[in-house]
Amino acid sequence: MTANAVKILLVEDELPVRRFLRSMLLGADFVVIEAGTGREGISLLGSHKPDVLLLDLGLPDMDGMAVIHEVREWSKIPIIILSARGQEKDKVAALDAGADDYLTKPFGIDELRARIRLALRHSNKIESGDRVGDTVLKLDDLTIDFVLRRIERAGEEIHLTNIEYKLLTLLAQHLGRVLTHSFIIKEVWGKYLVEEKHPIRVYMAALRRKIEPDPSRPRYILTEQGVGYRLKDTFNV
């Protein structure tokens, strides 16, 4: 273990799954703390101060959703859901409750490591006070200048409407994270529109036509089917 090792709390009731994930993550310079129940996980979260929480939803003593709600009352730790529940409604509910990401079992270990790195980068920006609105964000050939409100692709300025700009900067402020449809609508148009039918796909399609080299094969704004959208961190993923 090195001084910079990332401390991960794994809350999973199936022992074989815990052992497998522990063996895979230890080789990537992670320290893994294990819990088999929700209550044990919440207790270890307070005593060990981990960097990331990997959480299964199907726990024997309490539902993982209840764990998310309880943790979010006092902690901003990145929460990545690892669950066999693959329905869209489960993903949306977990993300809206405060989870940062959601992986459906079975998943690849490389993908899990990538999602952990994304969650850590986002968390570090928040803790250090690095507000993306005060910086210039570069993703390959796409540049977002939040101060000048200027968007460029390959050095050429792109003109966005006010709504398109709000959508892009909202995604950038949560770089790498999945934002649900309801969260995007609430942040851009207001919470009173969340329950109404909203043509968010139309606005996203218009934004993609302007910033994507090939809108039919987007490389920046990715769709999480039935859940929402994510701005891809193209540096390390």
Per residue in 67-99, pLDDT tens?
Answer: 999 999 999 899 999 988 878 888 888 998 889
From 3.30.565.10, 2.30.42.10, 3.40.50.2300, 1.10.287.70, which CATH number describes the 6-128 domain?
A: 3.40.50.2300
Q: Quick one: pLDDT at residue 3?
A: 55
Whole-number Å distance between alpha carbons of 100 and 198: 24
Strands in 61-192 per DSSP E: 79-83, 101-104, 136-139, 142-145, 150-153, 156-158, 179-180
End-to-end CA distance of the chain: 24
For 89, other C-beta atoms within 10 Å of its C-beta total 10
pLDDT tens for 113-132 read 888 887 887 666 544 444 44
Percentage with pLDDT > 70 across the chain: 87
Contact call for residues 163 and 200 (beta carbons, < 8 A): no
Distance CA 177, CA 99 (A): 10
Choosing among 3.50.50.60, 2.60.120.10, 1.10.10.10, 1.20.58.100, the CATH entry for 132-231 is 1.10.10.10
How far apart CA 123 and CA 207 sit, in angstroms, is 27
Range with the largest mean pLDDT of 22-26, 32-36, 191-195? 32-36
pLDDT at 51: 93
Domain ranges of the chain: 6-128, 132-231
d(C-alpha 136, C-alpha 23), whole Å: 38
Question: What one-letter code names the amino acid at 7?
Answer: K
Report, as an integer, the average pLDDT of 6-11.
94
The overall pTM is greater than 0.75: no
For 206-219, the pLDDT digits (tens) are 999 999 999 999 99
Residue 116 has a CB neighbour count (10 Å cut-off) of: 21
